Structure 1
Amino acid sequence: MPKRGFGDVELRILVIGSSGPSQFLLTNFILGREVFSEEVYSIASSQKNVGELVGRRVAVINGPNLYDKNLSKSKMRKELRRSMCLSTPGPHAILIAFDLEKISPNDMKTPKLVKDKFGESVLNYTMILLVYDGCLRDRVLNDKVMRTDWHLRELVEQCSCRYHVFSKNWRNRSGCRELLHKIERMLQTMGGHHYINRSYKRAEESVRNEERKLRKKRQPETGRTCQELEEQFRGDELRWQMDAYNARVGAEIRAEAELQNSWLRTSLAVGMGLGFVAGATMGMIIGSVEGPAGMAVGGAVGGFVGGASGAAAQLAIKHLDDRVGSRPPNFNTAFINRFYRAPPV
């Protein structure tokens, strides 16, 4: 079987928004269909949709807007993790979408926030997407971004001046081919590899483990179906039917594993458990001053306090594992990445 080239691989695109409808209009623009209505300004759960961009197979992953005030911090943290699971083993491109006419102070901080959440090297795979509703075109728009409006220039410079402007009328897809070329050129500078860090490796491992469990669970069903196919078909037709069935089952299992796996289920629970044990131990030490009764009371109180702060402790522990970015160019960069990064999700 010939080796597949990069152009044959499904392009995984993680789309991120700070606020408003921009990222959802961008998803419609990329896929060429109305995945989200134009009234959608936020979503509560991360989603994955597949389609084509200028003949190239793509999977577009949307998470909640980063500044969505309707989501708690714990819910946002979980959904960002879910978006990572949906884009495993790693995205080929991260597109951050804004309304060109409504850039806010928060928007200026978004690339840094994305770096904090997804890893030190993520901006090497990131492009700014600006949705625009007006009559300016091409050179005038480029001058507006790079020369006239300093805040736009400052925003795109955080992603090495990679940006693309698309129409708020997403059905006007005249810029699709140019967007795809920009994504492919960005990937070429990274050796054609998708983005990956330790969090993505853990996400992929968890998804694969879940896949194995689901396959085992469905073995009786798949065995019966394969037997029925063998009774109905012969030769090439049988092979075609079996391949189609196995592909469908594999896609269903993968989709379920991405949405529900141990990395998503246990992250906060583990954090609370660690916090409870640590808090109880500290409480017993402090309580020992008052004797056995004080140890019991101190242990119980310390456990509850520790459990409440356990999620934060787990995030700190998780951060220590994820501070080295992918393919550090030298020892100094590796050292800086290891100890001077804000915690990821």
Structure 2
Amino acid sequence: MVLLGLPGRGKSSSGNTILGSERFESVSGFEAGTTETSSKSARVEGRRVQVVDTPGFTGQVLSPRKLFEEIMKAVVEASPGPHAFIIVVRFDRISEADIKLFKILPKLFSRDASKHMMVLFTHGDALSGRSMDGLIWSNQHVSALVSMCGGGFSVFDNTKKGNRVQVRDLLDKIDQMVKTNGGGHYTDEMFKDGPSIPVKIAIRWRQIGEWFRRKIRNLDRRRDRYTPLNQPDTTELNKMD
């Protein structure tokens, strides 16, 4: 599985929770901690699980091109292809940028990527007994985000890494998604036969590099515009560029 998301959403910490040990460097706070794509694996719940951690989607740490290259490497690291793209979101700090990211990914990877996407809400400890389902469906933009992933989502409390129930829940939902997809993993024609991977990534950059730069700038502008799950919608997200 490939972990994707904005900086400070808990990707690395979630990767450690999944693998059951501190395999990725995790930095607390809202700024980027991961600056390059890395892959770790471990035996989890009786199976071999590979987790690919990626830099956060922002132009404030890496250049847009370097960020693009690292994100593209995630598919290579998950060779022959990831079974799931896990979009990591802080449930208590969902921003317009989090929601816009879901609209960017299908073009970044390909439209088929949407079939392999799932939402992972972190900071589940802040739920304080509330129903995640109820909070999701109380906000049209967040519910639309989950619907884009076929309704698939899980919740993690990364302060309780020993709670394996949450990990089993995620793996079970990934299994169901894989089954729905006919048992296959995500594949991209770009990474099949032909030039070397760096050459292919460079070609892809020439095709969509300017688009990617614009989208990253847009995400950075919207990172601090929050859409609280338990408050009425105040943004017109469908009109965003």
* Structure 1 match to 2:109: 118
| Shift in CA distance, 178/71, structure 1 to aligned 2, threshold 3 Å | same
1:107 and 2:107 equivalent? no
**1:93 counterpart (61, 81, 84):** 84
- Is the 2:65–2:209 contact (alpha carbons within 8 Å) kept by the matching residues of 1? no
Judge conservation of contact 2:84–2:116 (CA < 8 Å) in 1: yes
Give runs of aligned pairs for residues 158-237 of structure 1, distance below 5 A. 158-171=148-161, 172-202=163-193
Q: Shift in Å at residue 141 of structure 1?
A: 2.0
Residue equivalent to 1:312: 206
Determine the C-alpha separation between the residues in 2 that align with 1:131 and 1:88.
26
Question: Bigger CA drift: 177-186 or 17-26?
Answer: 17-26
- CA deviations 1:158-210 (Å, max 9, x no partner) are 212111111131413321111111110100011101111202324xx66xxxx
CA contact (8 A) 2:83 2:185 kept: yes
Q: From the superposition, tell whether residues 68 and 30 of structure 1 become closer, same or farther in structure 2 (CA, over 3 Å).
A: farther
Distance 2:81 2:36 in 1: 19
Q: Where do 1:1-345 residues align within 5 Å?
A: 13-39=1-27, 41-132=32-123, 133-137=125-129, 140-146=131-137, 148-171=138-161, 172-202=163-193, 262-264=196-198, 267-268=201-202, 312=206
After the TM superposition, list the runs of 4 or more consecutive aligned residues in structure 1 that deviate by more than 6 angstroms: none
SS in 1 for 2:103: helix
Contact 2:86 2:119 in 1 (8 A): yes
Over 3 Å counting, the alpha-carbon distance change for 1:166 and 1:68 in structure 2 is farther
Letter in 2 for 1:167: D
Root-mean-square deviation over aligned CA pairs: 2.4
Distance 1:48 1:189 in 2: 26
- Describe the SS at the equivalent of 2:156: strand
CA 1:313–1:126: 2 relative to 1, 3 Å: closer
Contact 2:27–2:33 (8 Å) recurs in 1: no
* One-letter code aligned to 2:128: L
Separation (CA, whole Å) in 2 of partners of 1:181 and 1:75: 34
1:60-85 deviation line (CA, Å, top 9, x unaligned): 11111122521111101211222121
Shift of 1:101: 0.5
**What is the alpha-carbon distance in structure 1 between the residues aligned to residue 208 and residue 169 of structure 2?**
42
Q: Which amino acid aligns with 1:17?
A: G
Contact 2:87 2:118 in 1 (8 A): yes
Q: CA deviation at 1:19?
A: 2.0
In 1, Cα distance between equivalents of 2:102 and 2:207? 25
Give the superposition deviation at 1:267: 4.8
User: What count of residue pairs does the alignment treat as equivalent?
Assistant: 205
Structure 1 counterpart of 2:126, one-letter code: G
| Structure (1 or 2) with the larger CA radius of gyration | 1
Work out the CA distance in 1 between the residues paired with 2:43 and 2:165. Answer: 15
Cα pair 2:38 2:53 within 8 Å, conserved: yes
How far, CA to CA, are the matches of 2:4 and 2:175 in structure 1? Answer: 19
Identity of counterpart residues, as a percentage? 27
Letter in 1 for 2:206: A
- The structure that is helix-richer by fraction is 1
Larger RCO (CA within 8 A; separation ≥ 6): 2
